[in-house]
């Protein structure tokens, strides 16, 4: 019998393994059944041949008081139905492999398959993180080379690869900031954050034990330098910002900002979410930053979203190197013995990750760096900026442009005028865009822009894709002003497996299982 052969005669779902009768159709675009609703007693997705190995008494494997007295209510399905079920579900999802994913400030760009191939090599994938140093020289060399490459890109002296994502990198950077100040005999309490900052920044500041001080943006969308100077004092530990900022604009006064913060003894923390815009062009270290966190799942195109795994390495200037988390992969001196090993800095803040980071994500990132080289990375930034400005210029006749000047890798538009004229909001525009085969952009962020639509096309989208995206956004705006246009937008999406959800209810009323309300 081949795998997936159905051993039962009936083909219509009956009572599931848990005893509940199914009322859902077997197939259908709008009502994909669960595995329990597909379940039929006796169906199997696997079979094992007779091995000839003597059977071991069950009591020798699992003590009686640890065994169930009744079978677990698991779904029973054939391999054919199992594969079809998950394939149908996968076709209902949008991904970077299907089309443009213009989430602003998230850099959801295509993940090159060569990186996945490298991460799947047995010599990398089949290694235990606790293996002896002498048996993992290749892995250690990879980690050392990645750290050196990231330091070259950022202009920093050393880095830790342990943080498992951007938020973990933020907390690591703030803990490093705290450790450095304490080593200087200081007990500072405040960290400055621009009003256009990523939402994770104030959360990380709080977790790091600091108080947030917000500074406003000026009329050009950058940090108001006068307002910044007004809040700088001897209690400021540092400032968190990204450059370009979350409006997609380059902080032109960055050297003056760095000088002002350093003058009061503070440190500059670089949120690396927008590093994609400046690769190979300018480095955070050259701007005056002391701490840089990197989102490898953004800038270096490793898998992103769905809870991870991610990677958020943190690079630092020379004076902060002794405080980095450990152990770190390092080159060993001398010609004898292993060339690489582990070492923990003298004043390390300790571990940030149970092992050494999400290693296969790190392998993907190094592959991306090596494939592109310095010239290729610079081209990544140039194309990302070009694409964003193309969209900004093209859509400026249809949507408001709050800061109408050249942007970097992302552009921020506004649906304020559209809302006043038709009642159609930024959220409605985003929902309608789903019907056009594109992922929705970021909406209502940055918070300082009314009815914000934030688009980041990335360097991996072609001119044809940008044209299609712009045309879709123009058609949505045009339809909003026609008869019934408001209702069509307010009810969108109409042609997706899941219609519009109540975003607030999803957060307030958690339904963790498919049958929680039955």
Concatenate the DSSP letters of all residues of 52-90 into one string: -PPPPPHHHHS-GGGS-SS--------HHHHHHHHHHHH
What is the enclosing helix (H) or strand (E) of 191? strand 190-194
Residues 32 and 174 in one domain: no
Residues 86 and 179 in one domain: no
pLDDT in tens, 97-106: 888 999 998 8
Q: What's residue 498's pLDDT?
A: 82
Concatenate the DSSP letters of all residues of 128-162 into one string: -TTS-GGG-HHHHHHHHHHHHHHHHHHT-SEEE--
Whole-structure pTM value: 0.86
Residues 247 and 328 in one domain: yes
1 lies in some domain: yes
User: Could you state, in chain order, the average pLDDT of each consecutive group of 10 residues for the chain (518 residues)?
Assistant: 36 32 42 89 80 78 88 90 91 86 90 94 94 95 97 98 92 97 96 92 94 96 97 98 96 97 98 95 97 94 73 97 97 85 96 91 96 96 98 98 95 98 97 94 94 96 96 98 96 88 81 66
Range(s) of the domain holding residue 308 = 158-355
Picking from 280, 311, 292, 470, the residue whose alpha carbon sits closest to that of residue 384 is 280
**Among residues 355, 378, 412, which one ends one of the domains?**
355
Residues 313 and 185 in one domain: yes
Residues 229 and 311 in one domain: yes
192 lies in some domain: yes
Phi, psi of 503 (to 5 degrees): -60, -40
451 lies in some domain: no
How many structural domains does the chain have? 2
Residues 88 and 201 in one domain: no
The CATH number of whichever domain residue 242 belongs to comes to 3.40.640.10
Phi, psi of 370 (to 5 degrees): -70, -40
Show contacts of 338-346: CB within 8 Å, 24+ apart.
338/133, 338/134, 338/137, 339/137, 339/141, 340/133, 340/137, 340/140, 340/141, 340/144, 341/133, 341/140, 342/133, 342/140, 345/321, 346/322
Contact 282, 328 (CB under 8 A): no
Q: How many alpha carbons fall within 13 Å on the CB side of residue 412?
A: 25
Residues 88 and 163 in one domain: no
Q: What's residue 194's pLDDT?
A: 96
């Amino acid at each position: 019998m081949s795998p997936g052969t159905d051993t039962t005669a009936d083909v219509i779902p009956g009572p599931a393994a848990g005893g509940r009768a199914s009322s859902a159709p077997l197939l259908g675009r709008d009502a994909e059944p669960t595995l329990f609703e597909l379940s039929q007693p006796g169906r199997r997705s696997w079979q094992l041949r007779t091995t000839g190995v003597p059977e071991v008494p069950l009591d020798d494997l699992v003590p009686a008081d640890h065994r169930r007295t009744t079978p677990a209510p698991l779904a029973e399905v054939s391999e054919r139905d199992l594969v079809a079920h998950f394939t149908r579900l996968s076709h209902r999802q949008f991904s970077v492999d299907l089309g443009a994913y213009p989430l602003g400030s998230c850099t959801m760009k295509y993940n090159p398959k060569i990186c996945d191939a490298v991460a799947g090599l047995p010599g990398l994938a089949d290694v235990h993180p606790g293996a002896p140093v002498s048996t993992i020289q290749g892995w250690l060399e990879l980690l050392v080379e990645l750290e050196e490459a990231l330091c070259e890109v950022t202009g920093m002296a050393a880095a830790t690869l342990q943080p498992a994502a951007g938020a973990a990198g933020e907390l690591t950077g703030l803990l490093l900031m705290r450790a450095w100040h304490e080593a200087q005999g200081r007990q500072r309490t405040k960290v400055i954050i621009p009003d256009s900052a990523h939402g994770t920044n104030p959360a990380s500041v709080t977790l790091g034990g600091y108080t947030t001080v917000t500074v406003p943006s000026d009329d050009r969308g950058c940090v108001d330098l006068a307002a910044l100077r007004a809040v700088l004092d001897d209690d400021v530990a540092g400032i968190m910002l990204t450059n370009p900022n979350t409006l997609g604009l380059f902080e032109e006064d960055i050297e003056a900002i760095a000088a002002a913060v350093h003058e009061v003894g503070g440190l500059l923390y670089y949120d690396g979410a927008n590093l994609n815009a400046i690769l190979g062009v300018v480095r955070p270290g050259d701007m005056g930053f002391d701490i840089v966190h990197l989102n490898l799942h953004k800038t270096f195109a490793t898998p992103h979203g769905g809870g991870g795994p991610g990677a958020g390495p943190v690079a630092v200037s020379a004076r902060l190197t002794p405080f980095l988390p450990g152990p770190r992969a390092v080159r060993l001196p001398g010609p004898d013995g292993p060339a690489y090993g582990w070492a923990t800095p003298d004043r390390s803040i300790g571990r940030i990750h149970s092992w050494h980071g999400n290693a296969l994500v790190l392998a993907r990132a190094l592959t991306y760096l090596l494939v592109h080289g310095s010239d290729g990375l610079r081209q990544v930034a140039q194309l990302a900026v070009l694409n964003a400005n193309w969209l900004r210029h093209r859509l400026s006749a249809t949507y408001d442009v709050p800061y109408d000047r050249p942007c970097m890798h992302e552009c921020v538009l506004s649906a304020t005028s559209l809302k006043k004229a038709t009642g159609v909001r930024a959220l409605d525009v985003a929902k309608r865009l789903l019907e056009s085969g594109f992922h929705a952009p970021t909406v209502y962020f940055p918070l300082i822009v009314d009815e914000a639509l934030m688009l980041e096309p990335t360097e991996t989208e072609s001119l044809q894709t940008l044209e299609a995206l712009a045309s879709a956004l123009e058609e949505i705006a045009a339809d909003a002003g026609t008869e019934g246009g408001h209702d069509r937008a307010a009810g969108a999406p109409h042609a997706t497996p899941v219609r519009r959800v109540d975003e607030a209810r999803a957060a307030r009323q958690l339904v963790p299982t498919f049958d929680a309300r039955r």
